[in-house]
């Protein structure tokens, strides 16, 4: 058995997975969660406009990472990998961030620090994490990782056959377009046009038509699933691998866009750190559904709680 720690540092959240990876009698490997948690730190606060990490965002991220380092040390993880994605790729002052991560994580395993990964690597790790729980007969798959600053669209069966990362996500789109509470019809129309224009690069680069299953990962998608199924609270076990028909998905997204932030906060499954940006994520999700429905037989979204975190964990034992 190998105990590993995976950390995913995105634009909106900092997430930790501690997992045991064991070898079964048939030679296959099994990943078992020890601890999985998420904290909204909003590292990407204002980065779309300024190109730099805000000092408050770095401070929030450091405080969270100190807690994670303690948890990792207490759990006895043998290996750590921390990856940083969209916000860090864009930040001019990212060396401050890297130095901070080495200072904090180096206490657990000397020399450990965050690494920034490309959009293509992010897409590959998300695919590995998402498809492991599904039978190969459900493929080919489209896996979409809708984050705060970027969206990865990946196509493949057992391996990645096409992938594209584009700079649109729930935080980035909200900061650009959705300024009113609730957003106006004009703001929503502008956001839809912006998202569609940026997503076009992914649609032109990744084959969608042959796919049989669409898997959505990350907080926007899983929260939409909880709301679509009218769960009173966020329940990972009930959400994992649940499906949403496109008609119901469109209905939930429209309802969220019509709500104020306070109304969204009052929804049982809504994380407080997601309430102000999920409208942007809803718009991206709607456009993805429209495009997928136009070119493929897929008519529902499958959501997975297993994503890039699981891919990072698998990479530590050479399985991703």
Residue 316 lies in a domain: no
Residue 125 lies in a domain: no
84 shares its domain with 182: no
pLDDT at 109 over 80: yes
> Which of the residue ranges 17-26, 167-176, 249-258 would you say has the lowest mean pLDDT?
17-26
Residue 153 lies in a domain: yes
How many whole angstroms from its chain centre is CA 17?
14
Q: Single out the residue in 116, 148, 169 at which a domain terminates.
A: 116
For the chain, the straight-line distance linking the first and the last C-alpha, in angstroms and rounded, comes to 17
142 shares its domain with 107: no
Could you give the number of structural domains in the chain? 2
pLDDT of amino acid 315: 92
pTM: 0.85
pLDDT at 11 over 90: no
269 shares its domain with 144: yes
CATH code for the domain in which residue 196 is found: 3.30.420.150
Does the CA dihedral 260-233-245-197 come out positive or negative? positive
74 shares its domain with 214: no
**What is the average pLDDT across 97-120?**
91
Per-residue pLDDT band for 313 (boundaries 50, 70, 90) equals very high
Q: Single out the residue in 62, 87, 116 at which a domain terminates.
A: 116
Query: Under 8 Å CB-to-CB from 151, ≥6 apart: which residues?
Result: 144, 145, 165, 166, 168, 169, 199, 202, 284
What integer best gives the mean pLDDT of the chain? 92
Q: What are the tens digits of pLDDT across the range 67-92?
A: 999 999 999 999 999 999 867 877 88
Q: What are the tens digits of pLDDT across the range 117-175?
A: 887 888 889 898 899 888 889 999 999 999 888 899 999 998 889 999 998 999 999 99
Per-residue pLDDT band for 309 (boundaries 50, 70, 90) equals very high
Exposed, middle or buried: residue 118 (CB in 10 Å: 0-12, 13-18, 19+)? Answer: exposed
Q: Which residue has the tokens 């929804």?
A: 267
155 shares its domain with 223: yes
Strand partners, 84: 9, 116
Q: DSSP of the chain, one letter per residue?
A: -EEEEEEEE-SSEEEEEEEEEEE-TTS-EEEEEEEEEEEE--TTTTHHHHSS--HHHHHHHHHHHHHHHHHHHHHT-SEEEEEE-HHHHH-TTHHHHHHHHHHHHTTTSTT---EE--HHHHHHHHHHHHHTTS-GGG-SEEEEEE-SS-EEEEEESSSEEEEEEES--HHHHHHHH--SSSPPHHHHHHHHHHHHHHHHHHHHHS--TT-SEEEEESHHHHHHHHHHTT-SS--HHHHTT-EEEHHHHHHHHHHHHHS-HHHHHTSTT--TTTTTTHHHHHHHHHHHHHHHHHHSS--EEEEES-SHHHHHHHHTTT--
Q: What are the tens digits of pLDDT across the range 24-40?
A: 777 778 899 999 999 98
How far apart CA 316 and CA 126 sit, in angstroms, is 14
**What is the average pLDDT across 99-124?**
90
Residue 217 lies in a domain: yes
Residue 267 lies in a domain: yes
Q: Which residue has the tokens 């779309």?
A: 48
How far apart CA 57 and CA 40 sit, in angstroms, is 10
pLDDT at 192 over 90: yes
Residue 300 lies in a domain: yes
139 shares its domain with 100: no
16 shares its domain with 54: yes
Residue 319 lies in a domain: no
56 shares its domain with 82: yes
pLDDT of amino acid 320: 60
135 vs 103, more confident: 103
Tokens of 305: 């709680």
Q: Single out the residue in 116, 147, 167 at which a domain terminates.
A: 116
**What is the average pLDDT across 195-208?**
94
pLDDT of amino acid 298: 97
28 shares its domain with 174: no
pLDDT of amino acid 301: 98
CATH code for the domain in which residue 87 is found: 3.30.420.40
Its domain, for residue 216, covers 134-308
155 shares its domain with 274: yes
Q: What are the tens digits of pLDDT across the range 267-305?
A: 999 999 899 999 999 999 999 999 999 999 999 999 999
Residue 10 lies in a domain: yes
pLDDT at 212 over 70: yes
pLDDT of amino acid 317: 86
204 shares its domain with 252: yes
How far apart CA 257 and CA 251 sit, in angstroms, is 10
Q: What are the tens digits of pLDDT across the range 38-57?
A: 998 989 888 878 888 999 99
7 shares its domain with 108: yes
pLDDT of amino acid 276: 93
pLDDT of amino acid 144: 96
């Amino acid at each position: 058995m190998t105990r590993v720690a995976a950390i995913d540092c995105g634009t909106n959240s900092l997430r930790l997975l501690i997992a045991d990876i064991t070898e079964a009698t048939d030679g296959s490997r099994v990943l078992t969660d020890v601890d999985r948690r998420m904290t909204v730190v909003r590292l990407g606060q204002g980065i779309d406009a300024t190109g730099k990490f805000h000092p408050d965002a770095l401070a929030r991220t450091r405080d969270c990472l100190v807690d994670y380092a303690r948890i990792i040390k207490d759990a006895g993880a043998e290996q750590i990998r921390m990856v940083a994605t969209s916000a860090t790729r864009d930040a001019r002052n990212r060396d401050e961030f890297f130095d901070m991560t080495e200072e904090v994580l180096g206490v657990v395993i000397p020399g450990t620090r965050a690494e920034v990964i490309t959009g293509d690597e992010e897409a590959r790790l998300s695919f590995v994490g998402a498809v492991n729980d599904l039978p190969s007969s459900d493929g080919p798959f489209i896996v979409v990782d809708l984050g705060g600053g970027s969206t990865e669209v990946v196509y493949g069966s057992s391996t990645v056959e096409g992938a594209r990362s584009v700079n649109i996500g729930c935080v980035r789109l909200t900061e650009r377009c959705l300024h009113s509470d609730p957003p106006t019809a004009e703001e929503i129309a502008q956001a839809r046009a912006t998202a569609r224009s940026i997503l076009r690069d992914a649609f032109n680069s990744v084959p969608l038509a042959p796919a049989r299953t669409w898997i959505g990962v990350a907080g926007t998608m899983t929260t939409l699933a909880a709301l679509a199924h009218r769960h009173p609270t966020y329940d990972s076990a009930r959400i994992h691998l649940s499906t949403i028909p496109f008609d119901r998905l469109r209905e939930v997204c429209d309802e969220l866009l019509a709500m104020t932030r306070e109304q969204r906060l009052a929804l049982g499954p809504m994380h407080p750190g997601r309430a102000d940006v999920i409208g942007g994520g809803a718009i991206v999700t709607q456009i993805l559904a429209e495009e997928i429905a136009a070119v493929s037989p897929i008519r529902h979204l499958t959501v997975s709680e297993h994503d890039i975190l699981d891919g990072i964990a698998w990479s530590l034992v050479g399985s991703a």
